[in-house]
Amino acid sequence: MGKPFLHAHHRFKNGKDHCYWSLVEKVRGPHDQWVQRPILYLGEINDRQKAAWIRTIGVFDTDRQAFTQRALFPLQREVPAHVTDAVQVRLSEFSVQRPRQWGACWVACLLWQQLNLDAFWSQRLSASREGTDWKSLLQVLTIYRLLDPGSEWRLHRQWWAGTALDELLGLHLPVLDKDCLYRTLDKLLAHRDALFQHLRGRWQDLFGARFDVLLYDLTSTHFESDPPFPEGDKRRFGYSRDQRPDCVQVIIALVVTPEGYPLAYEVLPGNTRDKTTLQAFLERIEKLYGKARRVWVMDRGIPTEAALEAMRASDPPIQYLVGTPKGRLSKLERELLDLPWQSARPQVRVKRLPQDQELYVFIQSEDRLKKERGIRLRKLRELVKRLKGLQQRQQKLSRDELLVAVGQAQEPAGRVFDLVEIHWPEDPQADARTFTFRLRRAKYRVWRRREGRYLLRTNLRESDPKVLWEYDLQLVEVEGAFKLLKDDLAVRPIFHQKESRVEAHIFVAFLAYCLSVTLRGQLRKLAGGLTSRAVLEKFAAIQMVDAHFPTTDGRELGFRRYTQPEKDQKILLAQLGWELPEQPPPRITAAGGLEEPAL
């Protein structure tokens, strides 16, 4: 990549020669040739002296604090006598300053507007008497969480200066006060239920979303903070899905549609058991959105028998589809053997077993069978290889050393380790190479017989098994939501020390997730394999820079411009129906930097 330089483009139109200037750089093309890539388009600067061809542009004059029309001429061209508002520019002495991220910030602001969040928060977060714009600060926090998540301190010290959000939001602040960022978090939780109802309407308006099938699941997120905490604090030790049992955590319960559009979430104490959460969440959804016919799709560990009985007995009945533990499959296996298989779709077969007020659906998927069998065989081969290596080891091991070595082999094997029976040497002083192991064939046959097969239970007795199977597959959407929250949006770990700000941190991550699924909903119709993250990274390549040109009268002409989009970015803009905003007008100011127009 070469040094940026100015390039003139001449266009003859109606007998006139128009000269347009761009800032370009040299890059190597696909065939190793040098090509010019436009960075900034600066516009037309007059380089002829014929009066009929003089072109003026709107320039913000900081001396007058107003926009004026000026005719720009390069230094080597004499200004015609009849032109009064002319500025001669020293083109060869230009400088490019403050490159910063613009494209992804603009996309995030566009998504914010599509969800009508600006109007929603304008009614609830009014500016303070000191002029602090809480609504815009919340938008900054959400966009930061979506694009490059980190701490509020990092946003204050580093990230803000590297973006063009000041230009996009009209804040024009060289730095964001970190205390204002924290105080913004204190104002959010009171509006959570109103936000849920607002978003439900936007999902329906934008994508025609339906809410008759809801996916419900839970996850945990851990903290870098020191217990103990006061009585009633939600930060508690519990079963950690993050594999961090050494840290306190909270539980996040989430309800989404099959397309991934969230309806509500709840933050629960970190020691909450999954099976105790369902009833409260059913009542919460009913309170928010009223009674309606809904199908709840859940993992097998969430509902209890009492909860399912209450769902069947409610008026109207609450319908559900849940997985079952393997113990129930063992009890019903003999009855299922006599039932005929039905084809749900290619590679998928089902059996229906009505029982009491429920329907059990036994499913066999060839794709799932191949996946599970491949994982099991790979882990079993690795385990046997390590155990044989211990048997054939030249160096003698004591019995205790053998136990440690086998424990190290057990961890990557997981549940496959139960398929192997090991006979340990009884004498602690005996050579550990005398231990033996063998395959538990009866258990292996049961495992192999159940691979690719699982059992669902539902009170939708008249439903097509194909539909029920598709409902169950959609649980991956809520799992994908948790993956997005934890990985892309970095909701964990949490460093806040106040419980209210812990929940507000999750609230901001939820807002960022809403922006992400809004973009994914638009991509789903155009390019199903394209992710929101890929699009944001693509647009992040569009930068905003300040190009400064000294003038002959001792001032500076400044162009604040975003770089020209590449071909793939233009294709995305056209397919999504987006239009980039107009470039900001030039500004002329005293030498030393650009000034903003008075707002």
Task: Give yes or no for residue 65 having a pLDDT over 60.
Answer: no
105: which 2 tokens?
């910030």
Residue in 282, 259, 251, 264 with CA at minimum distance from that of residue 213: 259
Q: What pLDDT shows up at residue 45?
A: 53
Q: How many CB atoms lie within 10 A of CB 28?
A: 11
Q: Where are the domains of the chain?
A: 5-100+546-590, 325-458
Separation CA 220–CA 492 (nearest Å) = 9
Model confidence pLDDT, tens digit, residues 356-394 = 888 898 988 899 899 999 999 999 999 999 888 888 877
Task: Give yes or no for residue 513 having a pLDDT over 70.
Answer: yes
> What DSSP element (H or E) covers 585?
none
151: which 2 tokens?
């701490």
DSSP-derived secondary structure letter, 65: T
Look at the chain and count its residues.
599
Sign of the Cα torsion 325, 330, 332, 335 reads positive
Q: What pLDDT shows up at residue 454?
A: 87
CA distances, 78 to each of 18, 72, 73, 151, 548 (Å): 17, 11, 8, 55, 21
Task: Give yes or no for residue 62 having a pLDDT over 60.
Answer: no
Residues 249-277: what's their mean pLDDT? 91
Model confidence pLDDT, tens digit, residues 515-545 = 999 999 999 888 878 899 999 999 999 999 8
Q: What pLDDT shows up at residue 232?
A: 85
Task: Give yes or no for residue 427 having a pLDDT over 70.
Answer: no
Cβ atoms of 534 and 516 closer than 8 Å: no
Residue in 548, 559, 557 with CA at minimum distance from that of residue 582: 559
Question: Listing from the earlier edge strand, what are the strands of the sheet with 587-590?
Answer: 86-89, 66-74, 56-61, 587-590, 555-562, 543-550, 95-101
At 142, the amino acid letter reads T
At 46, the amino acid letter reads N
pLDDT over 90 percentage in the chain: 31
pLDDT tier, 559 (very low <50, low <70, confident <90, very high otherwise): confident
pLDDT tier, 250 (very low <50, low <70, confident <90, very high otherwise): very high
Q: What pLDDT shows up at residue 138?
A: 95
pLDDT tier, 52 (very low <50, low <70, confident <90, very high otherwise): very low
Model confidence pLDDT, tens digit, residues 432-455 = 667 788 999 999 998 888 888 888
Model confidence pLDDT, tens digit, residues 141-159 = 999 999 999 988 899 889 9
Q: What pLDDT shows up at residue 41?
A: 65
DSSP-derived secondary structure letter, 175: S
Q: What pLDDT shows up at residue 61?
A: 54
Q: What pLDDT shows up at residue 118?
A: 94
Q: What pLDDT shows up at residue 291?
A: 80
User: How does strand 436-439 pair with strand 555-562?
Assistant: unpaired
Dihedral Cα 387, 389, 395, 400, nearest 10 deg: -10
DSSP-derived secondary structure letter, 6: E
Task: Give yes or no for residue 330 having a pLDDT over 80.
Answer: yes
Separation CA 156–CA 177 (nearest Å) = 6
* Mean per-residue pLDDT over the chain, rounded: 83
Model confidence pLDDT, tens digit, residues 174-212 = 778 889 999 999 999 999 999 999 999 999 999 999 988
- Give every CB contact of residue 92 below 8 A, 6+ residues apart in sequence: 6, 75
Task: Give yes or no for residue 49 having a pLDDT over 50.
Answer: no
For residue 228, whether the previous peptide bond is cis, meaning omega lies within 30 degrees of 0, is yes
**Cα–chain-centroid distance for residue 85?**
51
Task: Give yes or no for residue 578 having a pLDDT over 80.
Answer: yes
